[in-house]
Amino acid sequence: MVATGSAAEAAKRGTTRATPKSLEYEKLSITLPRELALALREYVRAGGAPSVSAFLASLVREQFEHDVLDQILEEDFRENPITEEERAWARRVLSRRQP
Domain extent for 88: 31-97
66: left (phi over 0), alpha (psi -120 to 50) or beta: alpha
Q: What digits encode the pLDDT tens for the residues 23-60?
A: 688 899 999 999 999 999 999 999 999 999 999 999 99
Cα(99)–Cα(85) distance, integer angstroms: 24
Domain membership of residue 9 (yes or no) is no
Q: What is the pTM of this model?
A: 0.56
pLDDT exceeds cutoff 50 at 3: no
Number of domains in the chain: 1
Domain membership of residue 24 (yes or no) is no
Cα(18)–Cα(10) distance, integer angstroms: 7
Domain membership of residue 74 (yes or no) is yes
Domain membership of residue 15 (yes or no) is no
Among 5-14, 44-53, 61-70, 75-84, where is mean pLDDT lowest? Answer: 5-14
Domain membership of residue 21 (yes or no) is no
Q: In this structure, what DSSP letter does residue 5 have?
A: S
pLDDT the model gives residue 29: 94
